[in-house]
Amino acid sequence: MPISFDWSETISSLPSKPIPADWLATKGKGVKVAFIDTGVNLGLPSLTHLGIGGRKFFTGAPGFSVTKLVGQDLVGEAFGGTGPGHGTRYASLLAGKSPDSSTDEMELVNGIAPAADWYIIKARNPNDRKTTIRNLLDALELSANLGIEIAITGQCISASEMPFEGLNNAALDRVFGLPGVKKMFVFAPLKNLEPTDTWDLITSENIPSRRPEIFNVAKLPDNFGPVADVIQNQPIPFLLSGFQGKVLSKTGDAIDLAFSNSGAVAVMGGIAVLALSFFKSQNGGALPNRDGMLQLLGNNCQSLNNASSNFAQPAIFKNF
């Protein structure tokens, strides 16, 4: 029998109910969000509502310009590559929405914040084979020009690639110094690590996570004990564990979520959209500052000092 999965139910069922019901009820309405990733298959029933003109961009499209605020429809995820697709999976987790007229034959996923104003930015090079640092910077600058309030990306690139792309720190400073970028809340993942890897300097080795403006998010490592001190001394505000559920592959199959740093940033970013939606409704549309957003989200997280060795249950930890 086809699968239908609801991430809002998963979030609302977290132990101790850490996400306020008032946040969940908003479904993200009234928040402008950029989903920056590898593209999305907008032909899937749960994702067709995202195919809005003027809200789809591809950094590798012919004639792409960060100042050209015209929708580029070439955001579909490459079907020639292997794997289930990256962007489609997390788009379904964040913004999936069951169609008004569904059938039992459809694989459906309802996301955390389907009512937000979603903008899809495919951050890839022209041949759709890789994401570069320049692609990510273009996506962030484009987001600023679109008036985006929250940007969520499941991508991070090694800072060692900068010289090969002809980039330097001044190029990063220019983009992150733009008023529109400074105003945004940007959620990004750290590099996925193996249990034997070290967490030393992980936030300074990758872009955009090396930037102090970024809300870094990561999956809590299974070997947390040996690396606890290293993690606690780095700018990693949020770490998540134990999330399980269904997401959509680029071909439309509902598959089990392989929880990773990308999954963690999608969950945390989605919750941030809910939080901002409620905050705006209570404050005449105003936005909190960065510290205010940290506090808003941190009120509903456990302290990282309370992390145990049992990460099977969904949990959100703060590290500030």
Share of the chain above pLDDT 90, in %: 74
pLDDT of residue 16: 66
Tokens of 283: 């404050």
Alpha-carbon Rg for the chain in angstroms: 18
113-117, 192-196, 266-270, range with the lowest pLDDT: 192-196
CA torsion angle 46 109 148 40 (round to 10): -60
pLDDT: which is higher, 174 or 11? 174
Structure confidence by residue, pLDDT tens digits, 235-260: 999 999 989 999 999 999 999 999 99
Helix then strand then coil, % of the chain, to nearest 5: 30, 15, 50
pLDDT of residue 237: 96
Structure confidence by residue, pLDDT tens digits, 20-33: 999 999 999 999 99
pLDDT band at 38 (very low <50, low <70, confident <90, very high): very high
- The number of C-alpha atoms within 13 Å of 50 and in the hemisphere containing its C-beta is 36
- Helix, coil or strand: residue 212: coil
Query: Alpha-carbon distance 154 to 312, whole Å?
Result: 22
Query: Alpha-carbon distance 142 to 215, whole Å?
Result: 19
pLDDT band at 309 (very low <50, low <70, confident <90, very high): low
**Mean predicted confidence (pLDDT) in 285-309:** 91
Q: Which residue has the tokens 């298959």?
A: 41
Query: Alpha-carbon distance 260 to 252, whole Å?
Result: 21
Query: Alpha-carbon distance 261 to 221, whole Å?
Result: 10
pLDDT of residue 1 exceeding 50: no
Query: Alpha-carbon distance 168 to 242, whole Å?
Result: 38
Query: Containing H/E element for 150?
Result: strand 150-153
pLDDT of residue 74: 76
57-66, 69-78, 126-135, range with the lowest pLDDT: 69-78
Query: Residue 185's closest CA among 76, 269, 116?
Result: 269
CA torsion angle 245 247 253 255 (round to 10): -40
pLDDT of residue 147 exceeding 80: yes
85-89, 149-153, 297-301, range with the lowest pLDDT: 297-301
pLDDT of residue 56 exceeding 80: yes
Query: Alpha-carbon distance 67 to 224, whole Å?
Result: 43
Please provide the average confidence, as pLDDT, over all residues in the chain. 92
pLDDT band at 165 (very low <50, low <70, confident <90, very high): very high
Beta carbons within 8 Å of 116's beta carbon, 6+ residues apart: 27, 28, 29, 30, 31, 32, 33, 95, 273, 277
pTM (2 d.p.): 0.96
Q: Which residue has the tokens 């979603």?
A: 118
- Helix, coil or strand: residue 57: strand
Query: Alpha-carbon distance 290 to 303, whole Å?
Result: 19
- Helix, coil or strand: residue 5: strand
**Mean predicted confidence (pLDDT) in 278-296:** 97
Asked if 204 and 233 count as a contact pair (C-beta separation under 8 A), the reply is no
Beta carbons within 8 Å of 300's beta carbon, 6+ residues apart: 18, 19, 20, 271, 316
pLDDT of residue 2: 61
CATH numbers and ranges of domains, the chain: 4-318 (3.40.50.200)
Query: Alpha-carbon distance 134 to 243, whole Å?
Result: 31
Share of the chain above pLDDT 70, in %: 97
pLDDT of residue 103: 67
Give Cα 179 distance to the centre of its chain: 21
pLDDT of residue 262: 97
pLDDT of residue 101 exceeding 90: no
